[in-house]
Structure 1
Amino acid sequence: MKIGDFIRFVRAIQRIRQVSAILAKHGFYQIITNLGLSKFFIFKKYLKAAYPVDNYQNVPPEVRLRYAIEELGPTFIKLGQIFSEEIADLPLKYIIELRKLQDSTQIDYNKISDIREIFKAETGLNIENVFASFEETPVASASIAQVHKAVLKDGTVVAVKIKKKDVHKIIKKDIGVLYFISNIAGDAAKELLYIDNAEEFLEEFVKNITSELDFLREAGNTEKVRKINQDKDTVEIAKVYWEYSSANVLVEDFVEGVKISDVNELSKRGFDKNNILKIFLNHFLNQIFMVGYFNADPHPGNILVINENKIGIIDFGSVGIITKDLRKKVLRYFIDFFHDDYEDAASIFIDICMGNLTEREEQAFKFELIEFIESVDNKPFKDIYSSEILLKTLKIGHNHKLAIPSELSLLFKAMLPIESVAKMLNPNFSFADSGLEFFDSISADKKAKAKAKDIEAMLIGNLKSYKDFFEVLPKRADKILKKMSEDKFSIDFIHKGLEGLIGEMERSSKRLTGGLLLASVIISSGVLIFIGSEFSHLYISIMGITGWIMGLLYILILLFK
């Protein structure tokens, strides 16, 4: 082992011991044992005795888990945020508690002295020279950064997002530790953390958290969404102030509003929650299916209600991009899916993944998917999440060796927080009903709608009429290709009733040839008559006249026939 590798190994062991100690402190010694981390302690019983569970008898386990995650730092807070969306796997009380990590955490934030130092290093400017006022206490503090409210010299109210000190180093170290733990834990992590593929999950997590560390990327995403926003009257996207922004500092307009998850406050203010829901859904569905560029992390903490007719969206650290061709296929998939046509939806899903499945493999995939959906249908309506089924589709597809496009995976995962927000505003929300409303809102012109429906009906009718043809076409094509590959394929042409047509074509060609000869005789005869009269050559004139007469006689014969 190289010296550098040995040093990293020692540091990883130290961090694992810290993680284990914090988990034990909050009463989760059993997790340490299950993950196989207790082997890094010589005196295991002292670790357990140092933090007896009795100290936490009055604190529910889900709350203790959140406390432990907050103490573990930014990397683990980000993991907690991801697990807060795992509706299918985690108990509801854990989901509710972990969602508190989305808004703000108890983790220490930068003091004003650190902020001055960071801002100066990133922009070359002093805070006093840029802002007329700057609130030292952050209005929000999450895993990676904290947000302060400030006022520019021209009076513009802005949000100043500052990355937390040394967060890069902490996350880099923790990523190494997580890889180390995943190798040790193996199947234990799968069972304990509800992860099917720990390595794949970790790779995606590292990719996402690394991209969120670059505020210039977030600024670019925000600016693009602001420009292509089709709902400017109802959705506000903050303006970025590039002259004060960098990889570690982001300055943009301050969006004042109530968090969309604060349903009680919305009711107190008399806001129409159904109207807010409509604005929220129209915007995100438009961005996904019409624009193809959307916020991939639309959790409640990033959605603010300005008034009942306008919302604001912040934090574009993660965005999704869908090509036009993929949008068409996904839209068709959603239409079939939300109309309970799961078999056709499964076929489209296979097409999206460009799956080369045999007929038996395709039927096995469809059977497993439909079986899962039917089991979910037994839940109470308010507990059914369509996005939960979409995410399960990804897992089933992966188990059947389908190549899931990364943009499709990102979209399905974004649908979960969208649906969660929708159910906060309306517990009886259904994607199927609201999806139909969205399709109706694509065109405001009623005539265009009627025409579109007629075209849709015609297309569906044609597709149904050709259904039988397309069902047998693959099998017949396969037989033909097989015969061709075995040199047993031949094509025989048989002519019936074409003799008369062929004879008529021959006669017509003869007439055409005769007509061309006649025209040449008449033209040449005219030339001879002109030369004979001009130069007084009688015999030349006679030749020309003779040609004219022969031509006229031939014309009479043709007319007679």
Structure 2
Amino acid sequence: MVNLVNLRAYWRFLIVFYQFLPLIVAYSRDRKRFFVVGSGRSVTPEMRTKRAQILLDSLLTLGPTFIKLGQLLSTRPDILPREYIEVLSSLQDEVPAAEWAEAKQVLEADLGPVGDVYDEFDTEAISGASLGQVYLAEYGGEKVAVKVRRPGIEELVEADLRVIRWSLPLLQRFIGQGRAFSLENLSDEFAKTIRQEMDYTREGRMLNEIRENFAGNDDIRIPNVVDEVSGPRVLTMEYLPGVKITDLKTLDEMGIDRTELATRLQEIYLQMIIDDGVFHADPHPGNLAVDDDGAVIFYDFGMSGRVDSFIQDKIVEFYIAVANQDIDAILDTLVEMGTLSPEADRQVMSDVMELAIADARGEDIEQYRVNQIIEQVESTIYEFPLRLPRNLALVLRVATVVEGVCVTLDENFDFITVATDYLTAEGYREETIKRVAGEVSNQLQATTQSLVRVPPKLERVLDRAERESLTLNVRIDDKNKVFDKLAKRIALTILLAVGVLSSAILYAFGASWQPAVAVAAVTLPIGFLLYRSFRKKKKGLRASPQFTRQGLKEQRRKD
């Protein structure tokens, strides 16, 4: 099995390399115009859009695994430029369903003969996706939806994951150090996510857990799992029909308040992420519907995730900081979550956050500020000191996709107000205020204690200094061996000076010139070593700010 997967991976690697060859050539010429020599090329937004379309076509050609990868990349502005994000956002997880005869083999291998298991079974799939397809059936007198894993998908995915892993070193040659970090995290998270999505037993467990968290809530409907006719590759669920959540015309005809629907959708996801810590992570319009009573129906829990308590607390702090328009608190929270480098230019990031909040609130923004900051930020965001730790990747995907659905329902939807109201109603803002007050109280107490303890200690130190009995032990951390280099240069300088002076004296007052030449010959290597110590290049990585005002100016000149 392993050997077959390896052989398939080698073949797939050649196919993937061929598909991406035009982009590889283009990126190579960006670095050196003539591949080996020449200066780098300036890349315009139009060129990026054209390349993004080539990437989209390649992903579609390569099949299910790469379609899923493209969807995940479309939510990662820390890896790809804005033009790529816009093009890849159109990538839908819809592919033609496999032949029924192939799907039947998978189903019967897990459950047995179809006719013996189900009362009725419609062999025409009602939906086809990259990893599975869904059929309508009847079981125990009730309509059910049967999700069947796509035939042969496991071997294809495993081969493609190896190809992606093998390709990382090549891709990292064309991107910066910061994006290389994000790309490696994305690769690991993608492999974990797609394997989980193929495990229908796990999907059933996650579905049941989320369903229990919303027990008694009439605003959301999640199908029951029929455990006795489900397995690792087959998932049988209650069939819940509804209207696609972005079918605005039908929703209006049903008398659904779309603003209220968008509000409920966001509140549902806030509860999942902040309260429950387990969430549905694929909220695209195909997985969300609305029933006759206006409740939101959720489908497809293959992509779902968990949030640990630390991230939950930081998300709450982030929302509260945004609600209070406290820019410093926003940046501090991003740093604590690991999404923003502590070395980031805080003034520039503050400008970005102010505009982002104003835009989210629908406030009027002076056009020149938008042109000067927002466009530059979006075109270079993948060079920002922004990082997406592994446990935040799915949360970002959810936030991005839910935002798109809510804006489709109501173009003036105010995310900040809804989040603020939810946090207030659930008591999070009050808890945060109490926690901050407690921290301030502790700091004041510690400061008071220090004020009492420091004067006597300071007086003792001053007394010892006055008696000239004060001793200081200083430890210098010299990891770069600066003092060693300085001492070596001083020693070489002294030896060189002594050698030159001795040569001059011997030549001027000596009986012959040979001794002076001998001393000069010994002195010459010392002079060379001294010269080399100043000319020797420093080893190691040289860090430079990734996002500064100067960087913006340079980017603007390039564009």
TM-score by shorter chain over 0.5? yes
Query: Which residue is equivalent to 1:148?
Result: 135
Answer yes or no: is the 8 Å Cα contact 1:134–1:149 preserved in 2.
yes
Match of 2:403 among 393, 413, 419: 419
Q: 2:413 matched to 1:429?
A: yes
Following superposition, the deviation at residue 249 of structure 1 comes to 0.8
Letter in 2 for 1:370: S
Answer yes or no: is the 8 Å Cα contact 2:75–2:85 preserved in 1.
no
CA distance in 2, matches of 1:93, 1:186: 17
CA distance in 2, matches of 1:427, 1:112: 41
Query: Which residue is equivalent to 1:171?
Result: 157
CA distance in 2, matches of 1:14, 1:36: 24
Answer yes or no: is the 8 Å Cα contact 2:144–2:238 preserved in 1.
yes
Unaligned runs of 5+ residues in structure 2 are: 30-49, 364-369, 464-559
Structure 1's 320 and 309: CA in aligned 2 closer, same or farther, altered over 3 A?
Answer: same
Structure 1's 94 and 111: CA in aligned 2 closer, same or farther, altered over 3 A?
Answer: same
Query: Which residue is equivalent to 1:30?
Result: 22
Alignment of structure 1 residues 384-533 onto 2, 5 Å: 396=385, 398=387, 406-442=390-426, 459=434, 469=444, 473=447
Letter in 2 for 1:17: L
Structure 1's 238 and 393: CA in aligned 2 closer, same or farther, altered over 3 A?
Answer: farther
Following superposition, the deviation at residue 414 of structure 1 comes to 2.3
Query: Which residue is equivalent to 1:495?
Result: none
Answer yes or no: is the 8 Å Cα contact 2:323–2:416 preserved in 1.
yes
Structure 1's 347 and 66: CA in aligned 2 closer, same or farther, altered over 3 A?
Answer: closer
Following superposition, the deviation at residue 319 of structure 1 comes to 2.8
Structure 1's 378 and 332: CA in aligned 2 closer, same or farther, altered over 3 A?
Answer: closer
Match of 1:161 among 135, 143, 147: 147
Query: Which residue is equivalent to 2:13?
Result: 16
Count of residue correspondences: 427
- The one-character-per-residue Cα deviations of 1:48-94 (angstroms, maximum 9, x if unpaired) are xxxxxxxxxxxx98777555423311110101211333468555796
Q: Please, what is the CA RMSD of the aligned residues?
A: 4.6
Answer yes or no: is the 8 Å Cα contact 1:480–1:489 preserved in 2.
no
Q: 2:73 matched to 1:112?
A: no
Letter in 2 for 1:120: E
Structure 1's 33 and 117: CA in aligned 2 closer, same or farther, altered over 3 A?
Answer: same
Q: 2:258 matched to 1:273?
A: yes
CA distance in 2, matches of 1:68, 1:338: 42
SS of the residue corresponding to residue 373 of structure 1 reads helix
Answer yes or no: is the 8 Å Cα contact 1:134–1:151 preserved in 2.
yes
Query: Which residue is equivalent to 2:120?
Result: 133
Structure 1's 489 and 343: CA in aligned 2 closer, same or farther, altered over 3 A?
Answer: farther
CA distance in 2, matches of 1:440, 1:162: 43
Following superposition, the deviation at residue 325 of structure 1 comes to 5.6
Letter in 2 for 1:333: F
Following superposition, the deviation at residue 274 of structure 1 comes to 1.4
CA distance in 2, matches of 1:20, 1:325: 41
Query: Which residue is equivalent to 2:270?
Result: 285
Higher RCO (Cα < 8 Å, 6 or more apart): 2
Answer yes or no: is the 8 Å Cα contact 1:151–1:157 preserved in 2.
yes
Letter in 2 for 1:147: V
Answer yes or no: is the 8 Å Cα contact 1:69–1:77 preserved in 2.
yes
Answer yes or no: is the 8 Å Cα contact 1:182–1:189 preserved in 2.
no
SS of the residue corresponding to residue 246 of structure 2 reads coil
CA distance in 2, matches of 1:8, 1:245: 27
CA distance in 1, matches of 2:305, 2:290: 23
Answer yes or no: is the 8 Å Cα contact 1:241–1:251 preserved in 2.
yes
Letter in 2 for 1:180: W
SS of the residue corresponding to residue 279 of structure 1 reads helix
SS of the residue corresponding to residue 205 of structure 1 reads helix
Match of 1:217 among 202, 216, 220: 202
CA distance in 2, matches of 1:276, 1:34: 45
CA distance in 1, matches of 2:282, 2:148: 19
Match of 2:289 among 297, 304, 319: 304
SS of the residue corresponding to residue 101 of structure 1 reads coil
Match of 2:167 among 175, 178, 181: 181
Unaligned runs of 5+ residues in structure 1 are: 38-59, 356-360, 399-403, 444-451, 491-561
Match of 2:239 among 247, 254, 258: 254
Answer yes or no: is the 8 Å Cα contact 2:179–2:382 preserved in 1.
no
Structure 1's 441 and 363: CA in aligned 2 closer, same or farther, altered over 3 A?
Answer: same
Q: 2:317 matched to 1:332?
A: yes
Structure 1's 460 and 196: CA in aligned 2 closer, same or farther, altered over 3 A?
Answer: closer
Query: Which residue is equivalent to 1:401?
Result: none
Answer yes or no: is the 8 Å Cα contact 2:71–2:88 preserved in 1.
no
Structure 1's 170 and 65: CA in aligned 2 closer, same or farther, altered over 3 A?
Answer: same
Following superposition, the deviation at residue 283 of structure 1 comes to 1.4
CA distance in 1, matches of 2:383, 2:279: 20
Match of 1:101 among 92, 97, 114: 92
Query: Which residue is equivalent to 1:82?
Result: 72
- The one-character-per-residue Cα deviations of 1:486-506 (angstroms, maximum 9, x if unpaired) are x9699xxxxxxxxxxxxxxxx
Report the TM-score, using the length of structure 2 for normalisation.
0.64
Letter in 1 for 2:116: N
Structure 1's 368 and 94: CA in aligned 2 closer, same or farther, altered over 3 A?
Answer: closer
Match of 1:70 among 60, 65, 74: 60
More displaced 10-residue stretch of structure 1: 164-173 or 295-304: 295-304
Structure 1's 247 and 432: CA in aligned 2 closer, same or farther, altered over 3 A?
Answer: same
Query: Which residue is equivalent to 2:192?
Result: 207
Following superposition, the deviation at residue 354 of structure 1 comes to 12
Structure 1's 35 and 264: CA in aligned 2 closer, same or farther, altered over 3 A?
Answer: farther
Letter in 2 for 1:275: E
Following superposition, the deviation at residue 110 of structure 1 comes to 2.4
Answer yes or no: is the 8 Å Cα contact 1:300–1:421 preserved in 2.
yes
Query: Which residue is equivalent to 1:372?
Result: 352
Letter in 1 for 2:23: I
Letter in 2 for 1:131: Y
Letter in 2 for 1:211: Q
Q: 2:295 matched to 1:295?
A: no
- The one-character-per-residue Cα deviations of 1:295-320 (angstroms, maximum 9, x if unpaired) are 23322222111135211112222333
SS of the residue corresponding to residue 160 of structure 1 reads strand
Following superposition, the deviation at residue 176 of structure 1 comes to 1.2
CA distance in 1, matches of 2:56, 2:343: 43
Identity of aligned residues (%): 21
SS of the residue corresponding to residue 345 of structure 1 reads helix
Answer yes or no: is the 8 Å Cα contact 2:186–2:390 preserved in 1.
no
